[in-house]
Amino acid sequence: MRRVSTETDLSTGRWRQKQRTRQALIDAARDLVALGTAPTVEHAAERAGISRTTAYRYFANQRSLLVAAHPETVASSLLSCDVSDDPAARLADVVERFTDLVSDTEQQQRTMLRLSLELPDADRAALPLRQGRAIGWIEEALEPLRGPLTDAEVHRLALAVRSATGIEALVWLTDVAALPRNEALALMRWSARALLQATLSEGPPPSDHSGSLSARPPTR
């Protein structure tokens, strides 16, 4: 006859319960961020129906909660598994997925952007928008360019693409330029392609030492 429970069963059950509690707090925080607020640990606990004391066992402060709640946190790569080695195809693949992510989570992204501008330097440094996750995704797409371009040049190109395709660009294009969202997304993707094409035909983006694009011979 099988015993009802064992020490391992109890340990696994406790672990699963902790995971459910943590996820409930994250989900509550994401719901609140989607409404345009910057939830505290107390706010997330109240929405999730969890005591404040318990919530603070999982998240010591608002910053750690917001980092966990950010929609980009779970993605380690945006590159399709079957994409070719062509840098243009790889970049188009990643940028399309990235801009879709930004659009699909726009309210959360806007809240995080606002927080990144309002919080003290010590707190804003830990926010996902300041962690450079998208830079890593873009650099992965540009990996075939390493060799013709130095690591520093690939990084500068990734920075240029990120500046043209993130939430900051979407906010400006829709709020200031008054473009419809679909046109804004199309323009962001076009900008990424144009930056890559300019790099391949004219050379990489300038650094503090190069001064201008013409300072380096074209890289084909």
In the predicted model, what is the mean pLDDT of the chain?
84
Residue 214 pLDDT greater than 70, yes or no: no
Indicate the CATH number for domain 7-69: 1.10.10.60
Give residue-wise pLDDT tens across range 160-170: 999 999 999 99
Q: Say which residues have a Cβ less than 8 Å from residue 190's Cβ, sequence separation at least 6.
A: none
Q: Percent of the chain beyond pLDDT 70?
A: 80
Domain with CATH 1.10.10.60 in the chain: 7-69
Give residue-wise pLDDT tens across range 78-89: 888 888 899 999
DSSP of 113-153, one letter per residue? HHHHHHS-HHHHTTSGGGTTHHHHHHHHHTGGGBTTB-HHH
Give residue-wise pLDDT tens across range 86-143: 999 999 999 999 999 899 888 888 887 887 777 666 555 555 555 578 899 999 999 9
Give residue-wise pLDDT tens across range 10-35: 667 788 889 999 999 999 998 888 77
